[in-house]
Amino acid sequence: MHHEEAARKLGIAPASLSPAPAMPRFAQTWSRMQQEPPCSTCGRPSRTSSVIHDPIHGPRWFDRCRECFLATPPTLSVPLAQFLEELREVAAEAGLRLHTHTDESGWEDE
């Protein structure tokens, strides 16, 4: 899911988030992640940082801990079956063993 959708699902009020650059450079996002700001949802140390764009409050930092990130996985740009097929091909080309575990419903409610 997209960042704005993830924030809504987690019940985040954009006004409660810190202002962010509209289009942060990778170095800015990486620097923020290194600081491990509190998760925007639960307050645990975050593992990911991104920016949401709210029409009223503008760009805001959206930080998630591991658990909150896994509760709102990113949207794949291709169907899961195609993604896994391509992942297996890349792993084979690199000489890596790959084991994947999925179910029909994905990560929802785990």
pLDDT band at 42 (very low <50, low <70, confident <90, very high): very high
pLDDT at 103: 64
For the chain, what percent of residues have pLDDT higher than 70? Answer: 92
| Region of residue 44 (left: phi > 0; alpha: psi -120 to 50; beta: else) | beta
Give the whole-angstrom CA distance, residue 78 versus residue 15: 33
pLDDT at 102: 66
Mean of per-residue pLDDT scores for the chain: 89
What's this model's pTM, rounded to 2 decimal places? 0.69
Residue 59 predicted with pLDDT over 90: yes
pLDDT at 80: 78
